[in-house]
Structure 1
Amino acid sequence: MKTHYFFAFDLGATSGRSILATVGGGKITLKELTRFPNKIISVHGKCYWDIYAIFEALKDGLKVVAAEKIKLDAIGIDTWGVDFVYLGEDGSLLNLPRSYRDPYTNGIPEELFKVLPRKDLYELTGIQIMNFNSLFQLYAAKLENSPALEKAHDILFIPDALSYMLTGGKVCEYTIASTSQLLNPKTRRIEPELLDILGLNSNVFRPIIMPGETIGFLTEDIARECGVHKAPVIAVGGHDTASAVAAVPADGENFAYLSSGTWSLMGIEVKEPILTQDSYEMNFTNEGGVDGSIRFLKNIAGMWLLEQCRKEWGGTGVHYSYNEIVELSDSVAGFQSFVDPDDASFANPVSMVVAIAAFCEKTGQNVPKTHAEFVRCIFDSLAFKYRYVLECLQKMAPFNIEKLHIIGGGSQNKLLNQLTANSINMQVVAGPAEATAIGNVMMQSKGIGMFDSLQEMRLMVRNSIDLDTFYPQDVHLWDSEYNKFLNIIQKK
């Protein structure tokens, strides 16, 4: 079997990396080539991404490939969602893209709801309301009388903009467009009613293309500068979570997934969007997935609480490795106190330790005193919150959920994986940790004809990595404590 080489560019909101993937013999292997910081630039109170620096980092990765004398079969790019660039009529970038962390969208959803009620917007898009969604960024730009918006001939989301800079091809990839709150999940097209509200021409967004389609080939100039041949750039799951979910090593369809990291995303794959009163009230979202699927999911504050505690403890000179954190949690009894990880008080507190203690005191619980007790409180609370969201999912899912796949960096936390299995009373399968990069590469492979289906891709993922399986333990105890958790989060 021929060996194929793929270049995956995986760009996050704080850092990015380029990865070389080798696919052959029924397996995939990854090698990180470069890693770089991705910093927000603040100018006169406005926050931007330096897309030119990102583009240089992308080319640096290609230059490493050239130095290793490897001929690439394809290139794919995934990034975070919602952010975008404006292009002028001549194809030039009109300015640096604004960052979703820019406060210019504060209060903007409420302004837009005066024109289009919140419930009507959800019915049109199926996307949970978050003030940084592309729709609200564009409405904020309109209210600012943005000259870039006024002169925009094209609007490209970040992965599509980087592909354009490599190839000259302008596209609007399905999964990244779905994060914008501009896409109608039923038609899989940008919703004309929303463009009318924004005062935008219907052609400002290119027609939707699906993951696996070819965007174009490296331009002569880029190929020459980087020392590589004119490889095709394939549209992958441009939204990093879409790429991650593509790598879920499932052997059937009746599963839920948990993409676990700083933030956790729990959901299911469905063929049609779920737009019900329950999904609206529970604030679930319908985002695009590979093979035209819908990722019906909910965001959960994942390891954010723990990371902020670790940062705070580190400031006092106490540093814990990942293994030491797990040992800390396992060293104390569970179920001493619980928090709701998604409570507003944990969004960005001055002190996470103080915020957790205040929540416990407010709800009449034991207040954690030692670092070990804080860690165990977070782990128990996450395991129960995962159960809560999974039960909400099951109420709306068109099938019986039989197992939970945990992917991403959090899949390596064996203790939390076991606690989650105990909590949900369901089999948990953990891995791969590198789900986003693997999913990126799998869609490139499909794009050049190596695979015919998502099932074939997932079979290769299962054959390429070691998976850990966790089975429920102490179910009756966890059921009893879960009722306490529900009572506590309802008190807040």
Structure 2
Amino acid sequence: MPTETSPVHLAVDLGASSGRVLAGKVTETGVQLEEIHRFSNGGLDLGKRLVWNLLGQWEQITEGLSRAAGIYGKRVRSVGADTWGVDYVLLDRQNDMLGPCMHYRDGRTAGVMEKAFQRLSRSEIFRATGLQFMEINTAYQLLAMRLEESPQLDIAERFLMVPDFLHWQLSGEQVNEFTNASTTQLLDVQSGNWSRPILDAFEIPTHLFSEPVQPGHCLGNITRALQMRTRLDRSVEVIVPATHDTGSAVLAVPADSFASENPDWCYISCGTWSLMGVELARPVLSEACQLLNFTNEGGVNGSVRLLKNIAGLWIVQQCREQWKREGHDWSWEHLLNLASQSPAMLSVVDTDDSLFLAPDNMPEAVCEFCRRTGQPVPQDPGAIVRCALESLALRYRLTLSYLEQLVGHSMKTIHMVGGGVQNRMLCQFAADACGRPVVAGPVEATAIGNILMQAIGSGQLSSIQEARRLVRLAKDIVVYEPQPAGRWDEGYAKLQQFLLAAKP
């Protein structure tokens, strides 16, 4: 199919630090992407709260859609949005927003998880949802509202997660999408619908939620108001992708299988967070899964993403932001060059330690962890970056060992997708630490997965297998073979010691 006449699908891809509108063309030779509009994102301090500027993001999104309409005109066939998980908005009976969209890093959920277990035991929650326990989960955000006696829960008529909100603005339809709903720890992992026992235990009104729709579902055409504002053609359809960005990213893994009983590959979706797991046909609800705090999130076509959330590139991103505030606007290339010149495995940090959740000064937090654990303290930015990246690779190794324990067999290959694969040092560290080949790419996995699901929903593609065949044609896929040199076993032993010492 010639590129000039190929239908165009628009992906709204909203991340924790930036947002984008991209145009994608699906042809016999793969997926061609063009970034139409990019804009910054992040938390805003509003009084004592940390919130998202969701209305500002919507304004930027419509700007991107307007630009796409000017470039592609009537060739635009569909649009769909993906974002991070867990966060939401509440609407009243007039469809007005009840307050701002709260940021998952806001401090209101501190200690709430323990209070939740007084209402419903940890094991009961896990058996119902199959989800890992994190204070940022929607369940604890909503329970925090109840414990604060927020009037919003009693006034609210509808619950929409962030991508649900965007799809409402695009189409006029209010739905909850399955993959993002599965991040809430409120969804029953067996039925795929909301868990009444959990909602009742946390005093969350059940009428707020609708039965989740699956990726590929068409919500109809864009609204007339949006058509007037952007000049997109009224025939443009709103097709729901896997709205959790990891769900879209995993769809774009260039594997040759889908949701098999015994997969021999795992994935790392790498960005601000790293999400490491396997794609399965059914959830794993064993006691070991609960103890290891893995999660069973929803994937496309009824698949399950058994995975674990890892801090990802958050530490090095926040280090760079701190140095920028101090007057050093260093590029990633410069920082990685400094890291390459620093001694290997000087110190190791637990990247998932609470010290790194939201410190005021991330480089100092890295140094403080090293002081606290009696290790050499990194003395310069290169040493800090190397420490953070090596430690993240060691976290991958630990998570891989848990993953293989849960599925009962070893993984031959690690597929690494997302923006983090541009960090060549991290890719090689991951291969070396885990002792497995790392197939890195595509970089734009989330946007590609979003667009491929739209292509499937519109009938342009017939299956996930056909979509992945196109992904394997991507030119930005690089294989990193593990190198035997390095002090990875020594660093791994340190990490295990930290975790053992942290156990109550």
Q: What TM-score does the superposition give when structure 1 sets the normalisation length? A: 0.93
CA distance in 2: counterparts of 1:374 and 1:175, whole angstroms:
36
* 2:241 match: secondary structure: coil
343, 349, 352: which one aligns with 2:362:
352
202, 209, 220: which one aligns with 1:205:
209
Q: What is the CA RMSD across the aligned residues, in angstroms?
A: 2.3
CA distance in 2: counterparts of 1:25 and 1:413, whole angstroms:
29
CA distance in 2: counterparts of 1:289 and 1:434, whole angstroms:
18
Determine if contact 1:407/1:431 at 8 Å carries over to the other structure: yes
Name the amino acid aligned to 1:228.
L
Shift of the 478–317 alpha-carbon distance from structure 1 to 2, 3 Å rule, reads: same
CA distance in 2: counterparts of 1:308 and 1:202, whole angstroms:
38
* Matched residue, 2:17: 14
CA shift for structure 1 position 186:
1.4
* 2:267 match: secondary structure: strand
4+ residue stretches of structure 1 with deviation over 6 A?
Answer: none
Determine if contact 2:310/2:352 at 8 Å carries over to the other structure: yes
Shift of the 128–459 alpha-carbon distance from structure 1 to 2, 3 Å rule, reads: same
* Matched residue, 2:223: 219
CA shift for structure 1 position 370:
3.6
Determine if contact 1:8/1:21 at 8 Å carries over to the other structure: yes
* Matched residue, 1:60: 63
* Matched residue, 1:372: 382
* Matched residue, 2:37: 34
Instruction: Answer yes or no: is 1:125 the counterpart of 2:129.
Output: yes
1:199-250 deviation line (CA, Å, top 9, x unaligned): 4554421111110111221122221222111211011011111111111111
CA distance in 1: counterparts of 2:51 and 2:276, whole angstroms:
29
Aligned residue pairs, count: 492
* Matched residue, 2:160: 156
Instruction: Answer yes or no: is 1:184 the counterpart of 2:188.
Output: yes
CA distance in 1: counterparts of 2:66 and 2:428, whole angstroms:
43
Shift of the 380–66 alpha-carbon distance from structure 1 to 2, 3 Å rule, reads: closer
Once the two structures are overlaid, the 10-residue window that deviates more, 98-107 or 57-66, is: 98-107
Instruction: Answer yes or no: is 1:240 the counterpart of 2:249.
Output: no
328, 332, 348: which one aligns with 1:338:
348
* Matched residue, 1:444: 454
For structure 2, the residue ranges without an aligned partner over 5 or more in a row are 258-262
196, 212, 216: which one aligns with 2:200:
196
1:34-92 deviation line (CA, Å, top 9, x unaligned): 12233545544344434333322222222112222422111010111112222333444
223, 243, 255: which one aligns with 1:250:
255
Once the two structures are overlaid, the 10-residue window that deviates more, 146-155 or 354-363, is: 354-363
Alignment of 1:449-468 (within 5 A): 449-468=459-478
276, 297, 302: which one aligns with 1:292:
302
CA shift for structure 1 position 367:
3.0
Seq. identity, %: 39
* 1:208 match: secondary structure: coil
Instruction: Answer yes or no: is 1:99 the counterpart of 2:103.
Output: yes
* 1:193 match: secondary structure: helix
Name the amino acid aligned to 1:235.
V
* 1:80 match: secondary structure: coil
Determine if contact 1:263/1:301 at 8 Å carries over to the other structure: yes
Determine if contact 1:363/1:491 at 8 Å carries over to the other structure: no
Shift of the 43–273 alpha-carbon distance from structure 1 to 2, 3 Å rule, reads: same
CA shift for structure 1 position 399:
4.8
Determine if contact 1:167/1:216 at 8 Å carries over to the other structure: yes
424, 440, 458: which one aligns with 1:430:
440
* Matched residue, 2:117: 113
Shift of the 234–365 alpha-carbon distance from structure 1 to 2, 3 Å rule, reads: same
CA distance in 2: counterparts of 1:39 and 1:361, whole angstroms:
30
Shift of the 212–373 alpha-carbon distance from structure 1 to 2, 3 Å rule, reads: same
CA distance in 1: counterparts of 2:99 and 2:349, whole angstroms:
43
CA distance in 2: counterparts of 1:42 and 1:488, whole angstroms:
33
* 2:79 match: secondary structure: strand
Determine if contact 2:12/2:82 at 8 Å carries over to the other structure: yes
CA distance in 2: counterparts of 1:352 and 1:56, whole angstroms:
31
Shift of the 98–367 alpha-carbon distance from structure 1 to 2, 3 Å rule, reads: closer
* Matched residue, 2:337: 327
Name the amino acid aligned to 1:237.
A
CA distance in 2: counterparts of 1:70 and 1:15, whole angstroms:
26
Determine if contact 1:87/1:154 at 8 Å carries over to the other structure: yes
Instruction: Answer yes or no: is 1:136 the counterpart of 2:140.
Output: yes
CA distance in 1: counterparts of 2:371 and 2:98, whole angstroms:
51
For structure 1, the residue ranges without an aligned partner over 5 or more in a row are none
Instruction: Answer yes or no: is 1:382 the counterpart of 2:382.
Output: no
1:84-123 deviation line (CA, Å, top 9, x unaligned): 2223334443443333233333332222221112222122
Name the amino acid aligned to 2:239.
I
* Matched residue, 1:45: 48
CA distance in 2: counterparts of 1:299 and 1:86, whole angstroms:
26
Determine if contact 2:132/2:295 at 8 Å carries over to the other structure: yes
* Matched residue, 2:260: none
Name the amino acid aligned to 2:33.
L
* 2:433 match: secondary structure: helix
Name the amino acid aligned to 1:190.
W
CA distance in 2: counterparts of 1:87 and 1:359, whole angstroms:
42
Instruction: Answer yes or no: is 1:264 the counterpart of 2:282.
Output: no
Alignment of 1:278-289 (within 5 A): 278-289=288-299
CA shift for structure 1 position 448:
0.6
Determine if contact 1:260/1:406 at 8 Å carries over to the other structure: yes
Determine if contact 2:73/2:233 at 8 Å carries over to the other structure: no
* 1:250 match: secondary structure: coil
CA distance in 2: counterparts of 1:370 and 1:50, whole angstroms:
34
